[in-house]
Amino acid sequence: MLLLAFVVQAALFSSLQHRRSQVIGYDQLRVALAKAEAPVGQLSFDGGLVADGTPIALLEIPKIGLSEVIREGTTARTLRAGAGHRRDSAVPGQGGTAIVLGRQATYGGPFAQVPLLEPGDIITVTTGQGTHTYRVTGLRRAGDPLPQPLRAGQGRLELQTGDGLALFPTGVLHADAELISEVHPDAAKVLAYPALPAAERAMGQDPSAWPLALFAVASFLAAGIGLWWLGRTWGRWHAWLIGVPILLVLGVAASDLAMNALPNLL
């Protein structure tokens, strides 16, 4: 039952959650752009770091039919809602490398088709500084040569997702694209990669999410014991009629919470 609940959550319910989050995020981003309040740097208007999950851009890749709201932050929890901007990197459209992470399979798998990108494909990103155009230069994996260092006044977009079989990634896939539209001024940076928490890096995990997930699993097991007891006292079919829906709900909840502790690119 627990395995079945995990499959149902990963294949069905997580996609519905992603779709709802994207609708809400798009509305929030549209309002922020209309009011000229969309973040264009690491800091918000009040001087603090932009809150995790804040919609900051719209990513569009016609080649693979992708239109995805990008949120600030790249923890597993944030990437449930869609693609995430790695907080230490440049904002798309600015000089330097902008890094965006997205899940490979679960929660809509927004970056599932990224491996299909080819050199020359066009990517557009809309931020508070306008619409920016990138041209894909290639894909790379661990051990492949790194792109040439950027010169002053150049920009690059790097998409990162899981590489390999869905739910069983063997590494990180990188898709590089060069900025071919106007380069916009950089915003002040207060966070560098060495200070970035491990949970926000590619394939990062958040150990603090495990206690709640284990509590949910324990609740599932307790319900299973209760179902066994009911089967001995009431009868097997009566117990299953009552217990199966409860076990399925608890299993889906446990699976959903466990996803916050698993690698963020699954």
Mapping DSSP to helix (H, G, I), strand (E, B) and coil, where does residue 147 land? coil
* Residue 263 in domain: no
Q: Which residues pair with 130 in a beta bridge?
A: 127
Burial class (CB in 10 A: 0-12, 13-18, 19+), 70: buried
* Residue 132 in domain: yes
* Residue 224 in domain: no
Question: What is the chain's pLDDT, residue by residue, as a tens digit (266 residues)?
Answer: 888 888 888 888 899 999 999 999 999 999 999 999 999 999 988 888 999 999 999 999 999 999 999 999 999 999 999 999 999 999 999 999 999 999 999 999 999 999 999 999 999 999 999 999 999 999 999 999 999 999 988 999 999 999 999 889 999 999 999 999 999 988 888 899 999 999 999 999 999 999 998 998 899 899 888 888 888 887 777 778 887 888 888 888 899 999 999 999 99
Range of the domain at 63: 15-204
Structural domain total, the chain: 1
On whether the CB atoms of residues 265 and 172 are closer than 8 A, the answer is yes
Q: What angle do CA 4, 83, 85 make, to 5 degrees?
A: 140
On whether the CB atoms of residues 80 and 107 are closer than 8 A, the answer is yes
Mapping DSSP to helix (H, G, I), strand (E, B) and coil, where does residue 42 land? coil
pLDDT for 158: 98
pLDDT for 44: 87
* Residue 254 in domain: no
* Residue 117 in domain: yes
pLDDT for 106: 95
- State the Cα–Cα distance between residues 138 and 126, nearest whole angstrom: 22
pLDDT for 115: 97
On whether the CB atoms of residues 49 and 191 are closer than 8 A, the answer is yes
* Residue 252 in domain: no
* Residue 260 in domain: no
CATH of the domain at 66: 2.40.260.10
- State the Cα–Cα distance between residues 55 and 18, nearest whole angstrom: 14
58: tokens are: 């719209």
* Residue 222 in domain: no
